[in-house]
Amino acid sequence: MNQPPASVIVLNYNTRELTLQCLASFAPALDRRGWQIIVVDNGSRDGSAEALPGQYPFVEIIRSERNLGFAGGNNLGLRQAAGEIVFLMNSDVLAAADTLQALAHQFDVQTN
């Protein structure tokens, strides 16, 4: 498998609807561009992790059995991230795919 140009890690803790809205803002377009998208479910009990595969089968899901906090959750995602650049996002962020791609270009990353 080729290295993705970038990885986006979305940290989720009991924010199912926010996470789905967050992914809707960029995930389908960036998946088509070959980006890696990871959701770290930080011990949620609201069905967050179960809701994702049906709507976003291309998103990689990492589940923690407990809330590891911001740093601990993102560290789980960083271990799996394969992109040349990595974006760390909370689930309440809405970012257009073009915005993320433009930001990646500022780091001189080849993003297709």
Chunked into runs of 10 residues, the chain (112 residues) has average pLDDT values of: 90 97 97 97 94 95 96 97 96 96 81 56
Closest C-alpha to 62, from 33, 38, 29, 88: 38
CA distances from 95 to 29, 41, 87, 89 (A): 11, 19, 11, 10
Termini Cα distance of the chain? 16
Identify the CATH class of 8-95: alpha beta
Please give the pLDDT value at position 107: 83
Residue 97, beta-bridge partner list: none
Is the pTM here over 0.85, yes or no? yes
- Phi, psi (rounded to 5 degrees) for 86: -130, 130
Please give the pLDDT value at position 112: 57
Please give the pLDDT value at position 76: 97
110: three-class secondary structure by DSSP: coil
Please give the pLDDT value at position 110: 56
